[in-house]
Chain A
Amino acid sequence: MTCFLVACSAAALARPTIEELQARDFLDDYESNIVYGYNIVMETEKYAARYVGNKLRCTNCHLNGGTTPDAFPLNVAGLYPQWRSKNGVRNGIVLRIRECFLYSHNGVLPPDHAPEVLAIAAYINYLSEGEVIGKRPQGAGVPTVPDTGFDPNPARGEVVYKRACEVCHGADGAGTAAAPPLWGPESYNAGAGMNRIDKAAGFIWANMPLGQGRSLSHQEALDVAAFVKLQLRPFDPREGRLAKLAERIWLRISGFFGAEQP
């Protein structure tokens, strides 16, 4: 029995790397989907252009193609289906991936049989090999920043941003060649998980500035997250873009005629 288990874990360890897969001259449907999914994660704007609406790549948050712990690693296939408060239903991995396109990529909601979505699901399965089904892998998601006793302060966050983040992300948050945009039309929208201060602070504290993770204090991470959240970005698509536009126009008109603003 022990022998069998050892053999099993050895087989799990011996899974081919992406480079090995890419070097083969024939891939079956599952393997080719793993490589396709990897390509999408690394160069989303090129391989999943159909559904992406901004300049973010999956690997911008799921660092190193979803292989870095504490940076939303993608080895989580065993955690789905999972009930999530975000949409109040039990989410399969496919729905979870589709929502990334809608919120984080500020794009079009792909159908649940879209080849891009199924390819990412295959890649997630591939990364999850060897994990225990139903058990949270080590370093899943991002760490929770402990209660510092102070509220997040965006004004102080701006100071931290100028000191530590601006070099790569730019003064206007639009990103540079070295780092992705943090706000503005080319970044994630207000419905994205990254727009939650707790998630963003955990991610920033554990991973930012890139390569010097855990160098900011907990309070600094919270402050910067609050500063970034307050910037302008595409709004939450759950509300309906035209409905939101009509609401804004109505507010403008009613304001013009001196009506009371809600």
Chain B
Amino acid sequence: MSLRGYAKTLLNEVRPDFSWTRSVDGRRETISGVTGAVLVIPQAITFAYLVGMPPEYGLYCAVFVGFFASLLGNTPMVGGPNTAMSILLALTVMPFAGRGSPLYIDYVLLLSVVVGLIQLSIWLLRGAEFFRYFSPAAIFGIKMGVGVLIITSAVEGMLGLAPLTTQFFYEKFYIVIAAWDDIVNPYAAIVSGVTVLSGLLMRKSFPRSYIIAAVLIGGVTGAALVGFLGPVRTDIELLGRIPFQLLPLRLPTVTSEYLLVMQEVFPSAVAIAVLGLAQSLVIAQDLKSHVKSQVSLGREVFAQGASNIIGPFFSSFAGSGSFNRTSVAVSMGAMTPLSGLIAAVAVAAIAWSLGPLLTYLPMPTIAGVLALVGIGMIQVSEIRRLLRSSIDGPVFVITILTVTFLGLKVGLAIAVLMSLGFFIAGVSKVALVMVDQDGVEHIQVTGNLFYASLDALAHHLREHPGANSVLDLTRVPYCDSSALAMIDAIKRERLKHGGRLEVMTAD
């Protein structure tokens, strides 16, 4: 691509595309946007808890990252806080500051800017193409691994424990079971149990709104326990007032010490950026068949990166497109980014006006929602489908095991490597069809001829150096210099032995 064409493409993707305004069904988009906003509020609070930030920051993320991603993109993809990114943000910043302290908040917001910058660099390098080679099985493995991680990170909140740190996720369950009588707050366990059970029971009949219903039932249970027995005896952690502001402007702190920390966490920042883009682009890819307007992956990458850079200036941590929110929006008839814009504005309006109602929402209920989200990410039918395939099955199993046992970062790296490996294995497959035509051997080659795929052909041609062959390369889309050199060398060898090799090309 010429430099001029490159600049033109970039400019084209930077300029917001409002062509969707011409054919927009305002009513349907509004209904879908407002519904999405109601659904995201418990999730946003939950994800803020996952990141280790005060709850209002999750709402800010749903509002501002969602708003800018929809403004700059042109799909009905709904953006906001994301599970896998939230887990990684917390794990990355935890070694440098205490959860939720002012320094911690500063680091998370600065890290989010770095994540956005990395995503923009990926955009400048035209990296959207790369994500197409991400194996869907690996993405499902990551998603379900994250589901397991989320369920384990909900354990403390559900049972009213102080945060536990363990090497492997299953140790936490062991500790809880072994020391149940000493450490578990039975009231918190009742509230979270009611939340999770009611959610699971209602999941079949209300697939869209079961989380809201679970929050209501769990919240009322908790409020009743606290109200009748008192906060001291129950010791159930409550959400407290959310000091939600409509314009939480904030300048991320940058000093040399902060930058040193950012340098140290840079590999994690890359992992977070890649995770965000991978998920957003899978959604965008899915939407291609659904929306009328042209879906440009490059534009979506730019929208994600830019919204993560702008977000921290509005007190938001890094986010991405959301699988479950987008699927709800699309199922309610969203076709354009308008529903995402309306959802962002509606989240702000609802949080601002109904914030005080959330004061007495018990944290065990929020942790229960976290567990429900995690359970929702583990889809048994999907696992069955993947395990039936001989390639997708192992990729999926390896990814999910590395994510759960070695952590998200390692899991992501393994998933990328395996995707690339299978891609290369697929590309370097070359089919040879030999037909004997009046003593002349006609060899038709189908596939790419390059250094990694030459062996079979070279072996075959060198078997009978005195033979007379025609090499048909009309079905070879790509032939590198090493292949040409090899063919030339064999031509010479054949001439020496009295054989011949003729080459047929497409042009």
Residues of A within 8 A of B (CB): 25-29, 32-33, 35-36, 49-52, 87, 102, 107-115, 118-119, 237-243, 245-246
Contacts and interface: CB of A to CB of B under 8 A. Distances in A.
Given A102-B231, A238-B232, A110 B240 contact: yes
B103 A111 contact: no
Interface in B78-115: 96-104
B102 A36 contact: yes
Contacts of B232: 87, 102, 109, 237-238
Contacts of B257: 26
Given A108-B231, A243-B227, A113 B243 contact: no
B466 interface: no
A239 B363 CA distance: 21
Given A102-B231, A240-B228, A51 B240 contact: yes
Contacts of A246: 228
20 contacts: A25-B255, A26-B256, A28-B103, A29-B103, A32-B97, A33-B101, A33-B103, A36-B101, A49-B241, A50-B239, A87-B232, A108-B231, A108-B238, A109-B235, A111-B237, A115-B99, A115-B104, A118-B101, A237-B232, A246-B228
Given A50-B243, A113-B162, A238 B230 contact: yes
A164 B440 CA distance: 119
Interface in B144-191: 162-163
Interface string B341-365: 0000000000000000001100100
A50 B230 contact: no
Nearest to A246: B228
B226 A29 contact: no
Contacts of A114: 100
B54 A50 contact: yes
A243 B229 contact: yes
Given A49-B243, A50-B240, A109 B231 contact: yes
Contacts of B104: 115
Given A32-B101, A49-B241, A238-B233, 7 more contacts: A28-B103, A33-B98, A33-B102, A108-B239, A109-B235, A111-B237, A240-B228
A107 B240 contact: yes
Contacts of B118: none
Contacts of B271: none
Contact of A240 (B230, B238, B243, B359): B230
A240 B54 contact: no
B427 interface: no
Nearest to B238: A108
Contacts of B239: 50, 108
Interface string B437-467: 0000000000000000000000000000000
A109 B222 CA distance: 14
Contacts of B243: 49-50
Nearest to B56: A50
B7 interface: no
B56 to A, nearest CB: 9
Contact of B227 (A26, A115, A242): A242
Given A109-B235, A110-B240, A242 B224 contact: yes
B242 interface: yes
B274 to A, nearest CB: 29
Nearest to A113: B162
B250 to A, nearest CB: 15
Nearest to A241: B227
Nearest to A25: B255
Interface in B197-247: 223-224, 226-233, 235, 237-243
A192 B360 CA distance: 21
A166 B226 CA distance: 37
Interface in B265-319: none
Of B54, B97, B101, B223, most buried by chain A (CB within 10 Å of CB) is: B101
A49 B360 CA distance: 14
Nearest to A242: B227
Nearest to A35: B102
B98 A242 contact: no
Contacts of A35: 102
A238 B104 CA distance: 34
Nearest to A50: B240
Contacts of A113: 99, 162-163
B49 to A, nearest CB: 11
Contacts of A119: 101-102
Contacts of B237: 109-111
A50 B241 contact: yes
A29 B97 contact: yes
B180 to A, nearest CB: 19
A150 B235 CA distance: 41
A115 B240 contact: no
Given A36-B101, A115-B99, A108 B227 contact: no
A95 to B, nearest CB: 10
B241 A26 contact: no
Contact of A242 (B100, B228, B238): B228
A241 B232 CA distance: 12
Contact of B230 (A29, A239, A245): A239
A191 to B, nearest CB: 9
B99 A32 contact: no
B108 to A, nearest CB: 13
A242 B234 CA distance: 14
A14 B97 CA distance: 25
